[in-house]
């Protein structure tokens, strides 16, 4: 059925894990009996027909859209880590980062549950890892780091991934010798999750965890006052409670603004920290949020910073982006930027992003440092 607000049901997105399998192998096994069609729209339209359709995604290599509602979690390929259930938008950041053997070590700053960490590994595996090249995966939450470890192991990327369970990316020293060769960083920080659709829980106050788990939000790191939403009462008001149990009643709109400000300030810190790694030439920044405050405005603020100007960070031009993304029509929302700030110093549109209206809405941003 077509939902009036959300549109037709979203397809199931399946990323073939190139560390363990190939698209051809999966077409012959997991997708045997499925009919191949040309467009995602046809796949989406098959929801109520009971047909089993698939199509190869035109933007992201090794990504398949399958008819909505099909459960792949019982398949051998899923259990063996040969396929990963990862929404299309969640595949943009690693592909946009375009990690290569010459980039040296790659940092995934906010890794759990590991969809993008394993995607980075899959891309590098296809290109061939350089001798000693590693993916350094940070995850501040020890519990979530366990999920990350499991996913990395199942995906067969444990030999090339160094997991730092409980490690806070913001506490690293970019100039430490161990990070001397870090050439690229993927930043996918905690966010409001406002762009997550197609789940039966409320996205606000949940950490986005592509792949389906539903961990409650722990945004204390992003919230200087440790304010947590206690209840909605009445619906237009929100009761916030701080660490000392003190309650404050605010309008829900005000509560959202407070939270977005805290998140944006944390997200900006992550981006500025990444800019400081001496050998870094590429960074991607992504969220599962539809709020410009967490997307375009964070990137615009980062590009106005001293570290960005000193090191020459700028947005990646369309012609510098990988095939598929070059053709992707969406590039952020210039109207979301403060007046006169839709052009950065180097002339690149600071609102450039890659929104995807699929089962998860996300904005992916890429920056590259001028050599
Ligand atoms: N990239 C993941 C994926 O694609 O599967 C999803 C990451 S989720 C949006 C954000 C993660 O960052 C959470 O697991 C959170 O615990 C972690 N995190 C938040 N702040 C962090 C920090 N300062 N250092 C390291 N990890 C952090």
Q: What is the pLDDT of residues 77-132, one digit of tens each?
A: 999 999 999 999 999 999 999 999 999 999 999 999 999 999 999 999 999 999 99
Question: In whole angstroms, what is the distance from residue 352 CA to residue 164 CA?
Answer: 31
User: Mind listing the pLDDT tens digit for each residue in 196-216?
Assistant: 876 543 333 333 333 333 232
What is the pLDDT at residue 207?
Answer: 38
Is 189 a residue whose pLDDT tops 90?
A: yes
More confident residue, 290 or 362: 290
Closest CA to 212 of 121, 303, 147: 147
Over the chain, what is the mean pLDDT? Answer: 84
Pocket-testing residue among 92, 106, 135, 140, ligand 1, by greatest number of atoms within 8 A of Cβ:
140
Instruction: Grade residue 4 by pLDDT with cuts at 50, 70 and 90.
Output: low
Pocket-testing residue among 90, 187, 189, 268, ligand 1, by greatest number of atoms within 8 A of Cβ:
189
Residue numbers annotated as active site: 288
% of the chain beyond a pLDDT of 70: 78
The residue-averaged pLDDT of 228-254 equals 75
User: Mind listing the pLDDT tens digit for each residue in 221-240?
Assistant: 344 344 555 555 566 778 77
114 pocket-lining for ligand 1 (C-beta < 6 Å): yes
Distances (CA, A) of 335 to 277, 292, 327, 342, 348: 31, 9, 21, 8, 15
The sign of the dihedral angle between the CA atoms of 313, 265, 209, 291 is negative
Instruction: Grade residue 2 by pLDDT with cuts at 50, 70 and 90.
Output: low
Q: Rounded to two decimals, what is the model's pTM?
A: 0.85
ipTM of the complex: 0.99
Atom of ligand 1 at shortest range from CA of 270? 23
Give the H or E element holding residue 262. helix 252-275
62 pocket-lining for ligand 1 (C-beta < 6 Å): no
Closest CA to 179 of 58, 310, 276, 63: 276
Closest CA to 109 of 187, 222, 207, 209: 187
- Whether the Cβ atoms of residue 360 and residue 288 lie closer than 8 Å to each other: yes
- Whether the Cβ atoms of residue 141 and residue 207 lie closer than 8 Å to each other: no
What's the 239 CA to ligand 1 centre distance in angstroms?
26
- Whether the Cβ atoms of residue 94 and residue 320 lie closer than 8 Å to each other: no
Question: In whole angstroms, what is the distance from residue 339 CA to residue 342 CA?
Answer: 7
- Whether the Cβ atoms of residue 283 and residue 367 lie closer than 8 Å to each other: yes
Is 45 a residue whose pLDDT tops 80?
A: yes
Atom of ligand 1 at shortest range from CA of 148? 5
Q: Which two tokens stand for residue 118?
A: 């394993």
């Amino acid at each position: 059925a077509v939902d009036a607000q959300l549109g037709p049901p979203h397809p199931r997105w399946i990323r073939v894990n190139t560390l363990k399998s190939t698209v051809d192998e999966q077409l012959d096994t997991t997708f045997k009996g499925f009919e191949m069609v040309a467009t995602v729209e046809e796949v989406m339209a098959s929801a109520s027909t009971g047909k089993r359709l698939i199509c190869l995604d035109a933007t992201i290599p090794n990504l398949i859209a399958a008819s909505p509602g099909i459960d792949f979690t019982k398949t051998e390929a899923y259990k063996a880590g040969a396929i990963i259930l990862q929404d299309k938008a969640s595949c943009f950041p690693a592909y946009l980062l375009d990690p290569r053997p010459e980039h040296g070590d790659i940092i995934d700053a906010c890794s759990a549950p590991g969809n993008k960490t394993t995607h980075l590994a899959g891309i590098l595996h296809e290109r061939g890892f350089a001798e000693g090249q590693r993916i350094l995966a940070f995850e501040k939450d020890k519990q979530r780091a366990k999920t990350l470890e499991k996913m990395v192991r199942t995906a067969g990327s444990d030999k090339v991934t160094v997991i730092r369970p409980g490690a806070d990316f913001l506490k690293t020293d970019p100039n430490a010798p161990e990070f001397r060769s870090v050439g690229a960083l993927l930043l996918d920080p905690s966010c409001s999750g406002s762009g997550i659709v197609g789940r039966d829980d409320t996205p606000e106050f949940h950490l986005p965890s592509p792949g389906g788990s539903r961990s409650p939000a722990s945004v204390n790191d992003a919230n200087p006052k440790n304010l947590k939403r206690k209840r909605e009462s009445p619906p237009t008001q929100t009761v916030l409670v701080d660490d000392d149990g003190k309650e404050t009643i605010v309008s829900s709109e005000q509560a959202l603004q407070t939270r977005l400000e805290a998140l944006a300030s944390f997200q900006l810190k992550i981006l500025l920290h990444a800019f400081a790694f001496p050998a870094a030439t590429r960074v991607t920044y992504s969220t599962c949020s539809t709020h410009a405050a967490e997307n375009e405005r964070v990137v615009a603020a980062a590009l106005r910073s001293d570290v960005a100007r000193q090191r020459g960070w700028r947005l990646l031009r369309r012609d510098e982006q990988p095939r598929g993304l070059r053709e992707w029509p969406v590039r952020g929302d210039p109207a979301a930027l403060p007046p006169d700030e839709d052009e950065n110093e180097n002339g690149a549109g600071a609102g450039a992003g890659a929104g995807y209206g699929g089962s998860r809405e996300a904005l992916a941003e890429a920056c590259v440092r001028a050599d």
